[in-house]
């Protein structure tokens, strides 16, 4: 399949301070995408910025996909100035996707800030294939960092809010809520957000013997596995340490394969 | 009009003068989903070492103005896994293969080259004498590269030259006062071609944490930012040595490739720009053909080094 697409921007709205949603028209991308995969966006025609920007797929429609992003540097700043009706070169879909194993009856999603980006598509898929609405913990610095809450409630998800300053939901961290949740039985956890949060979610999941999948973020150059720039220390082959490519072996990893002791805070 | 795009390095003939820079194309599998990789003049594979290498601790890359810094640290599958798992794919695609090798001693380079020749693992060998990312910059701010010593370049080159028959290319570093000196040494040592340039050493600092953005502290700069530097070195070297020069450094478009060829490069390589546009080499091959037609050139070799300096 062709992975390079000139996509029409059919929607581009601010959803919170510094956060935007963009809908990209492409039946080809939509038809081949799975929740958890990402796209590489060409931000400008020139050499500034030089590299594409990796973006999680937020939702998959019949004729396109959406992305949800935070302006955090020069690339996303330029991206945020593009208008509906303009075209943008998109590479993808890339990377692996969230596994949805059958033997788990409970699905729990833990999103920190813009880490929520890949989850609306995952919720839709779990609803479709398992008929269950996942429970969700939405965590952020303050109320402006809690995105997609309405979408999740509309999809029937029980949603817990938590902010560091207490401006929405409980005051605290995602893991504070996770520890309090009264869940028993085989549970699968999906998480994405700041690395310290993922690491702590992973520790709790280990204690409870829950399977945990994390979507990792990394600075990327190629998105296709050739540059080896986005690697994370992992133990994917039996007894064999490797530098796993976030763009190719990931971005979704079973958190047990990540060599957390080799990753700095 | 029929245009000859064939060029030669030693006794190796490339169907066209476009290859890819080692380390920007893996072992060919990934980008074969984008185009028929046998259309390239040659596929230059990621550096191979005797044993597999994990490479440096991340972060390994950082974007810079019109380019990027990398400190990958030669992560690779090792020669044996290459021969077993990567080579069959490249052969099946019918690619001309330039195998880039990296050793920590003359003996390792010789072993790698002999192994490749014995197993039919390459159509030419590129000796990486210029990787900037395999020394610990914290302890050793002066990172000596073989390519920085003309004397060592000749020793390494002639040792490999006398052990294999395969066409031999030596890849040199721009981190030197006069690149023509190691280039002449490579030629004296028996090289069939010279690849220039490897990356330029650079660094970048996070002003909030006051720490280097790369875990390795320093890395190699590539991309259009280095193109004028690379072009000048290609011009310098190609008028100094008689063997072919493989020019690389920030080539993105046909026009960029033409500049290198006119300056004296027999072959050009696309590097970091592949990350932005995987189809760039294919566009350049077609672009070179179109240029020759519109300029009534029936052989691209006539364009090599055709620069006029008034």
Structure tokens at A37: 């995969």
For chain A, the residue count is: 265
Say if B34 is an interface residue toward chain A (CB within 8 Å): yes
Q: In this complex, do B26 and A229 lie within 8 Å of one another by their Cβ atoms?
A: no
Cβ pair B72:A223 closer than 8 A = no
pLDDT at A18 over 80: yes
Is it the case that residue B141 has pLDDT exceeding 60? no
Query: H helices of chain A, where?
Result: 27-32, 74-79, 119-130, 149-154, 174-180, 195-208
How far apart are the C-alpha atoms of B158 and B189, rounded to whole Å?
Answer: 4
Residues A140 and A205 in one domain: yes
Residue B2 lies in a domain: no
Domains held by chain A: number: 3
DSSP annotation of A248: T
What share of chain A has pLDDT > 70, as a percent? Answer: 98
Same domain, A50 and A109: no
HEC readout, chain B: CCCECCEEECCEEECCCEEECCCCCCCCCHHHHCCCHHHCCCEECCCECCCCECCCCCCCEEEECCEEEECCCCCECHHHHHHHHHHHHHHHCCCCEEEEECCCCHHHHHHHHHHHHHHCCCCEEEEECCCCCCCCCCCCCCCCCHHHCHHHHHHHHHHHHCCCCCCEEEECCCCCCCCHHHHHHHHHCCCCEEEECCCEEEECEECCCCEECCCCCEEEEECHHHHHHHHHHHHHHHCCCCCCEEEECCCCCHHHHHHHHHHCCCEEEECCHHHHCCCHHHHHHHHHHHHHHHCCCCEHHHCCCCCCCC
Higher pLDDT pick, A185 / B219: B219
Q: How confident is the model at residue A142 (pLDDT cuts 50, 70, 90)?
A: very high
Q: Is residue B152 part of a domain?
A: yes
pLDDT of residue B139: 52
The region of weakest confidence among A191-200, A230-239, B9-18, B151-160 is: A230-239
pLDDT band at A185 (very low <50, low <70, confident <90, very high): confident
pLDDT in tens, A146-175: 999 999 999 999 999 999 999 999 999 999
Q: How confident is the model at residue B131 (pLDDT cuts 50, 70, 90)?
A: confident
Work out how many domains chain B is built from and give that number: 1
Q: What per-residue confidence (pLDDT) applies to B142?
A: 57
pTM here is 0.96
B131 catalytic? Reply is yes
Q: What is the mean pLDDT of chain A?
A: 95
- The burial class, CB within 10 Å (0-12 / 13-18 / 19+), for A32 is middle
B308 within domain boundaries: no
Looking at the structure, tell me whether residues A175 and A114 fall in a common domain.
yes
Q: Does A127 have pLDDT greater than 60?
A: yes
**Alpha-carbon torsion B82, B84, B87, B89, what sign?**
negative
Residues A196, A234: one domain? Answer: no
Q: Do A57 and A105 reside in the same domain of the chain?
A: no
Decide the pairing of beta strands A170-171 and A87-94: unpaired
Residues A227 and A128 in one domain: no
Q: How confident is the model at residue A182 (pLDDT cuts 50, 70, 90)?
A: confident
How far is residue B147's CA from residue B156's CA, in Å, rounded to a whole number? 10
More confident residue, B59 or A264: B59
Q: What is the CATH classification number for the domain harbouring B135? A: 3.20.20.70
User: Is residue A223 less than 8 Å (CB to CB) from chain B?
Assistant: yes
Containing domain of residue B196, as a range? 7-302
Mean pLDDT of chain B: 95
Q: Is A194 on the interface with B (CB under 8 A)?
A: no
Domain boundary among A75, A94, A113: A94
What is the CB-side half-sphere exposure of residue B8 using CA atoms within 13 A? 5
The verdict on A111 and A195 lying in the same domain is: yes
Contact between A227 and B62 using a beta-carbon 8 Å cutoff: no
Is residue A28 within 8 A of residue A75, CB to CB? The reply is: no
Q: What is the DSSP letter of A33?
A: -
pLDDT of residue A196: 96
* Predicted confidence (pLDDT) at residue A50 exceeds the cutoff of 80: yes
Per-residue pLDDT tens over the stretch A242-254: 899 999 999 999 9
CA-nearest residue of chain B to A49?
Answer: B66
Buried b (16+ CB within 10 A) or exposed e, B14-53: bebbbbbbbbbbbbbbbbbebeebeebbbbbbbbbbbebb
**Alpha carbons B59 and B153: distance in angstroms, whole number:** 31
Residue of A nearest to B271 (CA): A227
What confidence tier does B135 reach under pLDDT thresholds 50, 70, 90? low
The answer on A188 and A165 residing in a single domain is: yes
- Residue A255 belongs to domain spanning: 218-265
A201 with A232, same domain?
Answer: no
B chain contacts of residue A47, beta-carbon cutoff 8 Å: 66-67, 223-225, 252
pLDDT over 60 (residue A265) = no
Cβ neighbours of residue A86 closer than 8 Å, sequence gap 6 or more: A8, A9
Q: What is the pLDDT of residue A105?
A: 79
Q: What is the pLDDT of residues B216-264, one digit of tens each?
A: 999 999 999 999 999 999 999 999 999 999 999 999 999 999 999 999 9
Judge contact between B74 and B134, C-beta under 8 A.
yes
Q: From A94, A117, A135, give the residue that closes a domain.
A: A94
Share of chain B above pLDDT 70, in %: 96
What is the predicted ipTM?
0.95
Tokens encoding B36: 């028929």
Instruction: Find, in chain B, the residue whose alpha carbon is nearest to that of A40.
Output: B276
**With bands split at pLDDT 50, 70 and 90, how would you rate the model's confidence at A184?**
confident
B211 touches chain A (CB under 8 A): no
- pLDDT-based confidence at B130, cuts 50/70/90? confident
- A-B CB pairs within 8 A amount to 97
Q: Is A77 on the interface with B (CB under 8 A)?
A: no
What is the rounded CA–CA span in Å between residue A95 and residue A248?
5
Mark B121-138 as b/e (b = at least 16 C-beta within 10 Å).
bbbbbbbbbbbbbbbebe
Q: Binning pLDDT at 50, 70 and 90, where does residue A1 land? A: confident
- Cα–Cα separations (whole angstroms), residue B92 to A41, A201, B97, B119: 32, 45, 12, 15
Query: In terms of CA atoms, which chain B residue is nearest residue A44?
Result: B276
B274: contact with A, CB 8 A cutoff: yes
What local confidence, expressed as pLDDT, does residue A65 receive?
Answer: 98
Length, in residues, of chain B: 310
**Residue A111 shares a structural domain with residue A207:** yes
Same domain, residue pair A9 and A57: yes
pLDDT for res A264: 66
| CB proximity A229 to B under 8 Å | yes
Q: What distance in Å separates the CA atoms of residue A220 and residue A51, rounded to the nearest whole number?
A: 8
pLDDT on residue A149? 95
Which CATH number characterizes residue A150's domain?
3.40.50.80
Determine what percent of chain B is predicted with pLDDT higher than 90.
94
- What per-residue confidence (pLDDT) applies to B143? 58
Q: Which of A241, A265, B136, B226 is nearest to A257 (CA)?
A: A241
**DSSP assigned state of A116:** G
- Residue A243: list chain B partners with CB under 8 A: 54-55, 58, 75
Task: For B163-183, give one letter per residue: b (16+ CB within 10 A) or e.
Answer: ebebbbbbbbbbbbeebbbbb
Facing A229 at nearest CB: one of B26, B54, B70: B70
- What is the predicted pLDDT for the residue at B299? 98
Closest approach of B230 to chain A, Cα-based (Å): 17
Of residues B131, B143, B252, B292, which has the active-site annotation? B131
State whether B30 and A226 contact (CB < 8 Å).
yes
Is residue B289 reached through a cis peptide bond, with omega within 30 degrees of 0 on the bond before it? no
Residue A233 has pLDDT above 70, yes or no: yes
pLDDT, position B174:
97
Q: How far is B123 from chain A (nearest CA, A)?
A: 21
Contact of A243 with chain B, judged by CB distance below 8 Å, is answered with yes
pLDDT in the model for residue A247:
98
Backbone angles phi, psi at A208, to 5 degrees: -90, 0
What residue of A is the nearest CA neighbor of B224? A47
Residue B143 lies in a domain: yes
Residues A237, A152: one domain?
A: no
- What is the per-residue pLDDT for B144? 78
């Amino acid at each position: 399949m062709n992975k390079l697409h000139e996509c029409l921007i059919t929607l581009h709205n601010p959803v919170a301070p510094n956060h935007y949603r963009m809908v990209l028209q492409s039946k080809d991308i939509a038809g081949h995408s799975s929740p958890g995969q990402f796209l590489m966006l060409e931000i400008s025609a020139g050499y500034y910025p030089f590299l594409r920007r990796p973006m999680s797929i937020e939702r998959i429609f019949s004729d396109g996909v959406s992305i949800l992003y935070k302006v955090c540097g020069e690339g996303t700043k330029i991206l945020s100035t593009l208008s509906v009706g303009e075209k943008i070169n998109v590479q993808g879909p890339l990377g692996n996707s969230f596994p949805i194993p059958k033997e788990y009856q409970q699905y729990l999603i833990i999103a920190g800030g813009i880490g929520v980006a890949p989850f609306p598509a995952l919720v839709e898929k779990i609803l479709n294939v398992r008929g269950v609405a996942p429970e969700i913990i939405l965590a952020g610095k303050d109320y402006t960092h809690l995105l997609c809450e309405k979408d999740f409630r509309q999809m029937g998800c029980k949603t817990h809010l938590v902010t560091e300053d207490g401006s929405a939901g409980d005051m605290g961290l995602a893991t504070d809520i996770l520890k309090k949740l009264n869940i028993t039985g085989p549970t699968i956890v999906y998480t994405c957000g700041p690395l310290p949060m993922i690491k702590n979610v992973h520790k709790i999941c280990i204690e409870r013997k829950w399977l945990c999948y994390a979507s990792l973020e990394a600075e990327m150059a190629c998105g296709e596995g050739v540059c080896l720039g986005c690697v994370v220390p992992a133990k994917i082959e039996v007894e064999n340490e490797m530098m796993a490519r976030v763009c190719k072996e990931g971005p979704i990893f079973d958190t047990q394969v990540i060599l957390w002791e080799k990753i700095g805070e | 009009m029929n245009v000859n795009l064939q060029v030669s390095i030693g006794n190796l003939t490339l169907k066209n003068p476009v290859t890819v820079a080692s380390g920007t194309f893996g072992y060919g599998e990934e980008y074969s989903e984008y185009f028929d990789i046998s259309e390239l003049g040659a596929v230059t594979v990621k550096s191979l070492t005797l044993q597999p290498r994990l490479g440096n601790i991340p972060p390994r890359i950082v974007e810079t103005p019109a380019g990027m810094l990398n400190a990958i640290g030669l992560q690779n599958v090792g020669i044996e896994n290459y021969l077993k798992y990567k080579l069959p794919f490249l052969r099946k695609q019918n690619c001309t293969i330039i195998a880039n090798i990296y050793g920590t001693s003359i003996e390792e380079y010789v072993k790698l080259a002999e192994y490749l020749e014995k197993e039919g693992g390459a159509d030419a060998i590129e000796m990486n004498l210029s990787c900037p990312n395999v020394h610990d910059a914290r302890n050793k701010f002066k990172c000596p590269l073989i390519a920085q010593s003309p004397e060592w370049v000749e020793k390494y080159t002639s040792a490999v030259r006398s052990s294999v028959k395969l066409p031999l290319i030596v890849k040199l570093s721009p981190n030197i006062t006069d690149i023509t000196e190691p280039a002449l040494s490579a030629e004296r040592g028996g090289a069939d071609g010279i690849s220039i340039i490897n990356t330029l050493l650079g660094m970048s600092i996070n002003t909030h944490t006051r720490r280097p953005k790369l875990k390795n502290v320093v890395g190699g700069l590539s991309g259009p930012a280095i193109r004028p530097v690379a072009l000048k070195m290609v011009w310098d070297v190609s008028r100094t040595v008689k063997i072919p020069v493989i020019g690389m450094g920030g080539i993105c478009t046909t026009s960029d490739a033409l500049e290198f060829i006119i300056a004296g490069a027999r072959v050009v390589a696309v590097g970091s720009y592949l990350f932005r546009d995987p189809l760039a080499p294919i566009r350049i091959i077609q672009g070179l053909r179109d240029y020759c037609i519109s300029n009534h050139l029936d052989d691209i070799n006539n364009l090599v080094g055709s620069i006029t300096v008034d």
